[in-house]
Amino acid sequence: MFSLEGRKALVVGIANEHSIAWGCAKALRAQGAEIAVTYLNEKAEPHVRPLAEELGAEIVLPLDVSREGALEAVFDEIGSRWGRLDTLLHSIAFAPRDDLHGRVIDCSAEGFRMAMDVSVHSFLRMIRLAEPLMHEGGTCLTVSFFGSVRVVRDYNMMGPVKAALESAVRYAAAELGDKGISVHALSPGPLKTRAASGISHFDEMLNAAAGRAPMHVLASIEDVGAMAAFLASDEARNLTGGVHDIDGGYSITA
Active site residues: 155, 162
What CA–CA distance (Å, rounded) separates 161 from 239? Answer: 24
CA distances from 87 to 10, 119, 234 (A): 6, 19, 12
Report the SS3 class of residue 154: coil
Neighbouring C-alpha atoms within 13 Å toward the C-beta of 196: 21
Listed in order, strand segments (DSSP E) in the chain are: 8-12, 34-39, 59-62, 87-90, 138-143, 181-188, 243-246
Residues 115/77, Cβ–Cβ less than 8 Å: no
Letter string b/e over residues 29-44, b meaning 16 or more CB atoms within 10 A of that residue's CB: bebebbbbbbbbeeeb
- Looking at residue 22, its amino acid is W
